[in-house]
Amino acid sequence: MRHIPLFAAALSVLVTGAPAVMAQGEVNIYSARHYDNDDRLYEAFTEATGITVNRLEGNADEIIERMKAEGANSPADVVLLVDAGRLFQADRDGLFQPVASEVLADRLPAALQHPEGHWFGFATRARVFFYDKERVANPPQTYADLTKPEYAGLVCMRSATNIYSLSLLASIIAHDGEAAAREWAAGVKANLAREPEGGDTDQLRAVASGQCGIAVTNTYYFARALAETVDGLTPADGRDRIAWVFPNQGDRGTHVNISGAAVAANAPNRDNAVAFLEYLASDPAQEFFAAINYEYPAVPGVALDSTVQGLGAYTADTLNLAALGENQALAQQIYNELGWK
């Protein structure tokens, strides 16, 4: 495992606002987050607690397979993954252990916690509609609206095997049932402007270039384009013609997903792992953790990054995100049967 030495940082965070209690030892983090700024988060945790952070990075599949191969000898203490569907996959494989923490239970919304404490969400991203103001005068207001004939040839989405697409359909299954979910997937497929391809940023580029009229993507991709230089998404490229809608604000709320963490099943430093999760729920860590990737903090009332604030507040779906994993296989089956790419 790669060890990253951490030094005292200007950013000082006290876990849940309480006086720092200096601990000993280390915590080994397996992370599917690939953001250089995460280093500052780990540095602050070390400064606040005295616990050294060791980190290994990889994509979610690599991490899951590595932990399965390591078995009881795995050095992993904390697992950081993106999307509740991936957290479900790892938990299904027995890679997590339950955590009973009053700090986490009190600070995090119930919808962002596994019902038995197997994982917790620490930042959220909303899956919304970005649309071309020049082509779409009346944008869809709900996920169901995407199936309307007036949007034929306008919609762009990622592939059916992508975890974001699976989680969105899984949420529709949970709310409306299998038959309605199948009808929705068929209706959206009929309205596609092109076969699904590329990532979320590619969907946004397609709107900016006029190839698509409506893109279904996570908020943080567009926030990144507002705050950073992203090829194909500058004002000159047509970014300014893009507007957005948070779907289902009149009923169940917008579908959200998470960056989440869990304590590994065989964590050799369990207490330090729990301390790290509780630290992520503190207000200062929440502000920073979410701002690293232009996400929304999980803890209610925490200040938003200025760029994210510009996207606006919204009402989120309160469906417990465990349902996204539970319905994942059926979502994939529906997409496959309908011939989604």
Domain 15-124+257-303 matches domain 125-254+322-337 at the CATH topology level: yes
Burial of 190 (0-12, 13-18, 19+ CB in 10 A): middle
Q: How many CA atoms lie within 13 A of 209 on its CB side?
A: 12
Parse the chain into domains and list their residue ranges: 15-124+257-303, 125-254+322-337
Residue type, 339: G
Asked whether residue 289 carries a pLDDT value surpassing 90, the answer given is no
The whole-number pLDDT of residue 226 equals 95
Lowest mean pLDDT among 1-10, 121-130, 167-176, 265-274: 1-10
Kindly report the number of other CB atoms within 10 A of residue 40's CB atom.
Answer: 17
The whole-number pLDDT of residue 12 equals 27
Determine contact, residues 151/145, Cβ cutoff 8 Å: yes
Provide the CATH number for the domain formed by 125-254+322-337 in this structure: 3.40.190.10
Asked whether residue 15 carries a pLDDT value surpassing 70, the answer given is no
Asked whether residue 38 carries a pLDDT value surpassing 80, the answer given is yes
Residue 37's pLDDT band, with cuts at 50, 70 and 90, is confident
Q: Which CATH architecture is the domain 15-124+257-303 placed in?
A: 3-Layer(aba) Sandwich (3.40)
Residue 20's pLDDT band, with cuts at 50, 70 and 90, is very low
The whole-number pLDDT of residue 158 equals 97
Residue 252's pLDDT band, with cuts at 50, 70 and 90, is very high
Residue appearing with tokens 């034929």 = 152
pLDDT in tens, 183-207: 999 999 999 999 999 999 999 999 9
User: What's the whole-number mean pLDDT along residues 16-22?
Assistant: 38
State how beta strands 120-132 and 242-245 pair.
antiparallel
Residue 10's pLDDT band, with cuts at 50, 70 and 90, is very low
CA–CA separation, 113 and 103 (whole Å) = 12
Asked whether residue 214 carries a pLDDT value surpassing 80, the answer given is yes
> Three-state SS for 295?
coil
User: What's the whole-number mean pLDDT along residues 137-166?
Assistant: 97
The whole-number pLDDT of residue 310 equals 94
Q: Does 64 or 18 have the greater pLDDT score? A: 64
Asked whether residue 2 carries a pLDDT value surpassing 60, the answer given is no
Kindly report the number of other CB atoms within 10 A of residue 153's CB atom.
Answer: 11
Helix axis angle for 283-292 and 38-49, nearest 10°, is: 160
Cα-Cα-Cα-Cα torsion 321, 327, 332, 334, nearest 10 degrees, comes to: -120
Asked whether residue 9 carries a pLDDT value surpassing 60, the answer given is no
The whole-number pLDDT of residue 145 equals 98
Residue 35's pLDDT band, with cuts at 50, 70 and 90, is confident
pTM value? 0.90
